[in-house]
Structure 1
Amino acid sequence: MLLNPPYSFRGGSGVAIELAGTRLSVSPAAAFVWRVIEELPNLSGIAAILPEGVLHNIRDRPVWAAIEREFAVSARVSLGARSFRGAVVNAVLVTIDRTDSLVKAGRSAHLGRAPLGVCNCVEIVRGRVPVRVADQGGDTPFIHSTDLAGAVVLGKTGGNRALATPGHLVLFPRVGPRSAGRTRMVDGPVVLSDCVMALRLRDRNSAIRMLEWLRASSDALDSEYHGTGARHITVEAVGTLLRAAGWNAKHVRASTAISACDCAP
């Protein structure tokens, strides 16, 4: 059985479903899949063409968690943004197969380990300043994702120092092109575009180690970019990858000073 559920409703409204006695509002696509599974209790498996974002957005997670208790969910084929006439949307062909023994491949197969014997504290910083308001007549470099393509990160002057993030930073795009070839190290303070993600380390040597680790683990990082529209990576996904590799990671707001290190002595 192949499903092609509705992707969205005008106004972005959700669909109400009941899950384990709780009423939830989820995306139309997730609700459609859930109701098919509910109505066909002897279902062995289905395939569905879904908006890519439905597998990763927060409000649909309870649905997929419930489905994965009895089914293996696999994204098989990524469809280009212009696969459907008159629409620009990233879609994916997903198979949902009932199985008695779910064997899920971990990320560790292509995820390098954090270096041993050194402090592995790292702060995850999500950029906050939109490009349209970047030039505020200041003297601080503003760095957008497009500035990460060159060998040297120059940025553009004009950023407001009050919005700058200090410290030793390793940058990569949050939105748009994936991380491969766009991972760079800079010393702050710099103003970060809202299309940039930063990892802040306590010293330059630690930043160099992080840069090397990210480049060695680029496949794992790249696999976490998702989205029905522009593909992007979340703070949560970055934190999960870092902690799985042995980094002591936490999220902090942009423009804040580096916090105390939580590394064990």
Structure 2
Amino acid sequence: MRVDPFYTPSWLAAEMAAELDLRTGSLVADFTAGGGALLDAAEQRFGSAFSYLAADCDRRAVARLRSEHPRWLVGRADLLNERSLRQSPVWARRSAVSGVLVNPPFSYRGGAGMRSPNGSAVVSPAAACLETILSGMSPGSSVVALMPRGSRKSEKDRKLWQSWERRHALEVLRAYSRGAFPGAYARTEMLRFTVEKGPGVAAPSRPGVNRIIAGCTCIDIIRGRVPVHRRSQRESGPLAAFVHTTSLQEGEVELREEMCGWRWATPGPLVLLPRVGRFTPGKIAVWSESASVVLSDCMLAMRPLATPVDVLVSSLMSSFGVLAERYGGSCAPYLTVAALEAHVAELGYSPRRAQAGGPSELCSCGGGSAVMDVNQGSPLQGALISESARR
């Protein structure tokens, strides 16, 4: 398997270093150090109060790091090779590490994946690297990682993410669009893990991406209204993009050129999933724009008033198995609005039904207030197009 290196830009390295939560210890590490940008940023932030450990699988990168950073502890280690780790002096120092910054390899030729460190499943290289690091760290260690945004929602990595959420405290810090890495097109997100327990032991409840935040917990439940065969009917006035189950791809909404009339346009941000059809983790998708979209009648949407969409998505992903069992039917599986309401309520939210094309009402759970105007934004912005622009 060939891995393509894309080193971390200095501005992103500084953002990651700022998120390290160094409570104890004196050693900060990067086990896929590459050009050393992450540890450079950490050293600029924390100075001589900490020591720095750099490892990489590339011998040339290791030689360059040793030359440029004589004060660092530098050595060779390949997180994807068990033999390399057994023979690596720097990996042997991992128990003394209190903070890790990591930008693991994302891309790989062939797409076949590789075995997880325990050999139980085939996973992506990025997930395999992160599992190796998390399994080797001591309780209380802080790990700030940059991961491909699709990993949390992919079927290939799903079991690893479920294991991490049981074993560690996990926070999604921020997301980055395509173009963050010169020459690469992956969407990424920054995550922070606080290592809590060993494998198989649940981490204690604490604030984070997997917990409902304080305040308003209202979630609008919206069923799409437009049948696929009616999506192309011409209507006067502004149009909005049409979203069907085929638009849900690995956790994101891929818009096509199909447009519908404004009558049933629903403003975002939305968390979408299929009402009918095969349900997989990748079909839990986020429409993060405020612009409105028209939902097909095979779609269900959740619109939180105050809860960040990442928090809601994480709640759904962590309970994916239970939600999948709520799909019924002897032919094509389907999910009723009532079943989705029950699931959302069990997660601790306050679900309520809303009409497609209608505005969100004021908070009704008593935790706060919020209102969303269905007419927000210009018809020429986001997913909208005017009648004159269409012609």
Distance 1:189 1:139, change over 3 A: same
Pair 1:198 & 2:306 matched:
no
Indicate yes or no: 2:309 matched with 1:207: yes
Shift of 1:151: 5.2
Specify which of 230, 234, 241 is matched with residue 141 of structure 1.
241
Whole-angstrom CA distance in 2 between matches of 1:192 and 1:124: 13
Instruction: Return the alpha-carbon distance in structure 2 between the equivalents of residues 153 and 225 of structure 1.
Output: 21
Q: CA deviation at 1:247?
A: 0.5
Q: Deviations over 1:178-202 (max 9, x none)?
A: 1421111113410001111100112
Deviation per CA, 1:8-66: give whole Å up to 9, x if none: xxxxxxxxxxxxxxxxxxxxxxxxxxxxxxxxxxxxxxxxxxxxxxxxxxxxxxxxxxx
Q: Structure 2 stretches of 5 or more lacking a match?
A: 1-208, 368-391
Stretches (4+) displaced over 6 A = none
Aligned equivalent of 1:224: 326
Who is 1:122 aligned against? 219
- TM-score, normalised via structure 2 length: 0.37
CA distance in 2: counterparts of 1:171 and 1:163, whole angstroms? 16
Separation of aligned partners in 2, 1:120 and 1:180 = 23
Identity %: 31
TM-score (ref. length: structure 1): 0.54
Structure with a larger share of its residues in strand:
1
CA distance 1:114–1:227, shift in 2 (3 Å): farther
2:274 to 173, 176, 184: 173
Deviations 1:140-179 (A, max 9, x none): 1100001102454132331111211113100011100114
For residues 235 and 167 of structure 1, do their structure 2 counterparts lie closer, same or farther at Cα, with a shift above 3 Å needed?
same
Once the two structures are TM-superposed, the CA of residue 214 in structure 1 deviates from its matched residue by 1.1
Q: Which runs of 5+ in 1 are unaligned?
A: 1-111
Alignment check: 8 A CA contact 1:179 1:221 kept: no
How do residues 180-195 of structure 1 correspond to structure 2 at under 5 angstroms?
A: 180-186=281-287, 187=289, 188-195=291-298
Q: Which residue identity lines up with residue 134 of structure 1 in the other structure?
A: R
SS in 1 for 2:282: coil
SS of 1:215's equivalent? helix
Go from structure 1 to structure 2 and tell me whether the alpha carbon gap of 1:196 and 1:120 turns closer, same or farther (over 3 Å shift).
same
Deviation at 1:208?
A: 1.9
Shift of 1:239: 0.5
Q: Distance in 2 between matches of 1:150 and 1:245?
A: 23
Q: Which amino acid aligns with 1:120?
A: T
Matched residue, 1:155: 255
Given residue 324 of structure 2, which amino acid in structure 1 is its aligned partner? Answer: D
2-side partners of 1:150 and 1:116: how far apart?
A: 25
SS, match of residue 199 in structure 1: strand
Over the aligned positions, Cα root-mean-square deviation in angstroms equals 2.1
Q: Secondary structure of the residue that 2:334 maps to in structure 1? A: coil
Q: What is the distance in 2 between the residues matched to 1:173 and 1:212?
A: 17
The answer to whether the 8 A contact 1:168-1:202 is kept is no
1:218-258 Cα distance to aligned partner (Å, 9 max, x none): 11110111102211000000011111221011111211111
